[in-house]
Structure 1
């Protein structure tokens, strides 16, 4: 890419790391200096190699000034991740490097102190010969050992940065961030600061400084796999919106639709709340079955059931889940513990909504959601709030199953204080009546329309969901121990 000094084009310089440009608003600013911070093993060198390889792929010139690992090791690392650095010019100043060993002194001097050999002078000479578009200095903190004092170190690094930028280069400097070697002074000298952190259950990328442009704040999941490095940006609901419909989504069961005044309103979030075994997942799948019948697509994320159990249960109650999947009107993703980070999961949702046109998204199990995903914050339901806001903004109907752990007894709609997240709450409940265990269903809340405030008996049969007439003669159903009022007509 032509930088400002080599063509006056105001465009971004790509990082080469999938997902990172999205966080940086398109990439680095041309002729800027970015500090990439992290503890040893955080992936700073790999991040830098992606940057240089992207330049080579774009027919740019690139230079790697290595003061840590030797050149052979860096090239081997690039080869391991299938990164093309064949055209990168290496200035090997690592302790084992020939040019470093040939120096008569390891003290940094200003460029005009030509009486004594100088690393800075050596770098300037090489840069002017190569004329690179992209430069990596890895790690720049090694220079601190060579400077007589902190003031001299800052002055030399600032001079080096300004020289590289004046030559038309976009610069990455890596820092071995550690409490034993603070790099606050370096952060003041650069245009941008990227932090690579090790957090519970995941690595993250966090941009703490970026001059001249807005960036996406927060800690975004960063992964290093055999395919290289990738960043999964946090979900920001405010960045996504499209025209919404107020149409009703029918369940295909007239009595259930009657409870819901016609069905679920598109672009809303409905909680199906109740104890285990009461039929929450089956009820959600019933809406998906009806959606499939109209040729529209749904996706189910199951956190609490394995695939075989889910399929057997669905087929046993006349929900043709296998056929729906074959016709691509349904996608089922079973997510096990620690399989995904929260940012990978929200990326999957975005792919289903934006690329596959899914009209219904079901998250089966709030407890599993909280426990299975790595990187969920101290307030896990806040992540669910963001997902809900995203689905609403995109006009997608969200269905969330929420398990309350008391099978009978005093009624609670949710056990985690989540009722404020829902536009609608459908309660399903086990009740005991005359020695028989039955199920009931009712609507506790609907923000978008009126609803039937009666409870109805729910049966799950081999022919599907059956919702009976209302039960006005029963009292105390929500306590789990109802009584029959003979005086009710």
Structure 2
């Protein structure tokens, strides 16, 4: 069956269908592997509910859970199993046991072929287009040997092949080696994993091990189990969205800052604003957000380090009133808890916002993003795809990076300067007994920029960028030497 000769069988999970390049090829055997608690049952119910929405007959054969347990799972997501045929363990036991007083089902006491016969009889009666068999663990125990187990799976596969039925086989993935029999027979294999970080919520991810005849999206994809079902966040692949980007320039409205940047930031570029705490990184990002909103461009701010209320209070202190733009949706501030949000979910949020028309994405800060990414060595790859995606959609990225230390030698947990198109550096320095800030542009790929180091002042009057600090040496070290006229410096009393 070629990719063009069938209509994909939708799973009822939009993100998973995207990973599967549209859905599952119909009328095939599929193996769903995963430890207890990863969401195999939830995925299966969503699969059957999607079939019911399309007017198909569906059947859930459970050898490990009762009807009441399945109903409870469905109820927790706001679903009803009405219209889905369910064959449960206790019903099969009543048909097979010769002891009418027995109410317990012991797999060792019942032959595998008898269990299989009852299941197939139910399939003949219901004539379903979708079937879930939960779980293979029970069949494996009944088979007793690998040979008999494999033959039984082949018999089931042959039985369903002529009945236009798509089958999901659920199995615990505790021992990968033992699943090779089923994996070799199945048309496709989906694995679900539950990772437990040292701190924070568990992280769930899935992977398509194989899917014959389909160019699916490989790698790991984060997912969540929420009230309402499973939500999958497909791994971001920027190459799939290559398109000519819109040319333009983003100005801040602060003359000195725009001059320093050679006229402003170029649209569709990735920009890194780095410096120690208290140098004004978030203030500059807020100024760009306000300037973009005034131009009618939508802005999305992902705040890892501040609450929404604190962000608004700080903006108001420097004379930047964002209330109107936040109320009308031009600027949106999303508070991110790095202990609760996976990198895949964050990338999914950014992708959705950019596709809906956001033109400026601000990540405040990369240190918080790094906290959401336990595998530090993968952060660069994630950000590369994110920046490339935004560039392809003419969206500008402004990333804030907190450097450790205040004076002297400072560094970031991971070097991302090569990834950014523009790098803006902020520094503290001491002059005349006062703590002051300096700003400079270290790099700009897309055009010329000033090479000067300028003083920057942040006050209730806003941001002001002064003249070049030409009378100083060693500003970037934090301990400069002054040999000029003090009147050339910014008077902080005047803002």
Name the structure 1 match of 2:50.
Answer: 54
- Whether contact under 8 Å (2:472, 2:484) holds in the other structure is no
- Whether contact under 8 Å (1:341, 1:375) holds in the other structure is no
Which of 17, 21, 26 pairs up with 1:25? 21
Report Cα offsets for 1:30-67 as digits up to 9, x if no partner.
Answer: 11111001112222122111111111111101112221
- Whether contact under 8 Å (2:370, 2:376) holds in the other structure is no
Distance in structure 2 (CA, Å) of the matches to 1:459 and 1:100: 83
Distance 1:375 1:44, change over 3 A: farther
* CA shift for structure 1 position 276: 0.5
User: Is 1:130–2:126 an aligned residue pair?
Assistant: yes
Name the structure 1 match of 2:467.
Answer: 469
Distance in structure 2 (CA, Å) of the matches to 1:80 and 1:411: 50
Give unpaired runs (5+ residues) of structure 2: 101-108, 197-201, 489-495
Name the structure 1 match of 2:103.
Answer: none
Name the structure 2 match of 1:369.
Answer: 369
User: Is 1:146–2:147 an aligned residue pair?
Assistant: no
Normalising by structure 1, we get a TM-score of 0.90
- Whether contact under 8 Å (1:377, 1:383) holds in the other structure is no
Name the structure 1 match of 2:398.
Answer: 399
Report Cα offsets for 1:406-454 as digits up to 9, x if no partner.
Answer: 2222465x45211111111011111112322211111000011111101
Name the structure 2 match of 1:112.
Answer: none
Distance in structure 1 (CA, Å) of the matches to 2:446 and 2:73: 56
Report Cα offsets for 1:92-116 as digits up to 9, x if no partner.
Answer: 345874234359972234xxxxxxx
Distance in structure 1 (CA, Å) of the matches to 2:336 and 2:129: 43
Name the structure 2 match of 1:316.
Answer: 317
SS at the partner of 1:183?
A: helix
Name the structure 2 match of 1:303.
Answer: 304
- Whether contact under 8 Å (2:248, 2:267) holds in the other structure is yes
SS at the partner of 1:19?
A: helix
User: Is 1:444–2:442 an aligned residue pair?
Assistant: yes
SS at the partner of 1:467?
A: strand
Give unpaired runs (5+ residues) of structure 1: 110-117
* CA shift for structure 1 position 308: 2.3
Distance in structure 1 (CA, Å) of the matches to 2:342 and 2:409: 35
- Whether contact under 8 Å (2:132, 2:167) holds in the other structure is yes
* CA shift for structure 1 position 78: 2.4
* CA shift for structure 1 position 181: 7.8
- Whether contact under 8 Å (2:208, 2:219) holds in the other structure is yes
Distance 1:103 1:206, change over 3 A: farther
Distance in structure 2 (CA, Å) of the matches to 1:398 and 1:190: 43
* CA shift for structure 1 position 249: 0.6
User: Is 1:108–2:112 an aligned residue pair?
Assistant: yes
Distance 1:188 1:342, change over 3 A: same
Distance in structure 2 (CA, Å) of the matches to 1:90 and 1:406: 62
* CA shift for structure 1 position 180: 9.1
Distance 1:454 1:103, change over 3 A: farther
Aligned length: 471
SS at the partner of 2:167?
A: strand
Distance in structure 2 (CA, Å) of the matches to 1:71 and 1:101: 20
Equivalent residue runs for 1:76-115 within 5 Å = 76-93=72-89, 97-101=93-97, 106-109=110-113
Distance in structure 2 (CA, Å) of the matches to 1:80 and 1:415: 41
Greater shift, 418-427 or 120-129, is seen at 120-129
Distance in structure 2 (CA, Å) of the matches to 1:41 and 1:410: 47
Distance in structure 2 (CA, Å) of the matches to 1:304 and 1:456: 27
- Whether contact under 8 Å (2:62, 2:133) holds in the other structure is yes
Name the structure 2 match of 1:360.
Answer: 360
Distance in structure 2 (CA, Å) of the matches to 1:302 and 1:79: 34
Distance 1:433 1:72, change over 3 A: closer
- Whether contact under 8 Å (2:373, 2:379) holds in the other structure is no
Distance in structure 1 (CA, Å) of the matches to 2:301 and 2:144: 62
User: Is 1:164–2:168 an aligned residue pair?
Assistant: no
* CA shift for structure 1 position 83: 2.8
- Whether contact under 8 Å (1:342, 1:375) holds in the other structure is no
Name the structure 1 match of 2:481.
Answer: 483
Greater shift, 91-100 or 338-347, is seen at 91-100
SS at the partner of 2:70?
A: helix
SS at the partner of 1:416?
A: coil
User: Is 1:271–2:272 an aligned residue pair?
Assistant: yes
User: Is 1:195–2:195 an aligned residue pair?
Assistant: no
Report Cα offsets for 1:146-203 as digits up to 9, x if no partner.
Answer: 2252112101111101211211100100112223982111100101111111113311
- Whether contact under 8 Å (2:362, 2:398) holds in the other structure is yes
Name the structure 2 match of 1:41.
Answer: 37
Greater shift, 258-267 or 244-253, is seen at 244-253
SS at the partner of 1:77?
A: helix
SS at the partner of 1:277?
A: coil
SS at the partner of 1:163?
A: helix
Which of 452, 477, 480 pairs up with 1:454? 452
Report Cα offsets for 1:245-286 as digits up to 9, x if no partner.
Answer: 221111111111111111001111111111111100101111
Name the structure 1 match of 2:181.
Answer: 185
